Amino acid sequence: MAATPLVQLAKHEDSRGRLVSVESLRDVPFAIARAYYILPAESAARGFHAHRTLEQLMICVSGSCRVILDDGETRSEWLLDRPDLGLMLEPMVWHEMHDLSEGSILLVLASARYDESDYIRDRGEFVREAAARAGR
Ligand code: T46
């Protein structure tokens, strides 16, 4: 996992409000192929999977959310509570989203189109694949 998965995004603030921008291959290290957003049911945890190749940036554009990242060896926890803060979700990192506040919105920018075969949704399978890739 990178030293910090957090990405500070450019924000432009004036009397009319705030505008936050994200540029492909500049603010994120991949070409953006897809965007989706999640309007979670309050306190319902989501995620619980890893991607084999997909790179993503997650932004909590409204509200807050606690995200757990786990590469099979190291587990870390991150709070997303600002619309100008992104969290990189790298390939082969198990991720879980918890404590989604009421009315929160998660925007995710992804490096590829939706492909269910890129998901590892079984925790045991993830641990085995991560260990094999790391030569453990
Ligand atoms: C991720 C985390 C952060 C589609 O049909 N197209 C899409 O682009 C996406 C993202 C999902 N779906 C379908 C697949 C499922 O039937 O939407 C349904 C819900 O997806 P899922 O249960 O994977 O939702 P989350 O919130 O657990 O995970 C999502 C993304 O799927 C995943 O890639 O990294 O957000």
State which amino acid sits at residue 114: Y
C-alpha 14 to ligand 1 mean position (Å):
35
pTM of the model: 0.96
Asked whether the predicted pLDDT for residue 106 surpasses 80, the reply is: yes
CA distance 132 to 100: 33
Q: Which residues are catalytic?
A: 49
Between the alpha carbon of residue 124 and those of residues 5, 75, 121, 127, the distances in Å are 24, 16, 9, 5
Asked whether the predicted pLDDT for residue 136 surpasses 90, the reply is: no
C-alpha 75 to ligand 1 mean position (Å):
22
Confidence of residue 118 (pLDDT cuts 50, 70, 90): very high
Which residue pairs, CB below 8 angstroms and at least 24 apart, start in 19-22? 20/59, 20/61, 20/83, 20/84, 22/57, 22/59, 22/86, 22/109
The single residue listed with the structure tokens 């045991």 is: 124
Percentage of residues of the chain with pLDDT beyond 90: 93
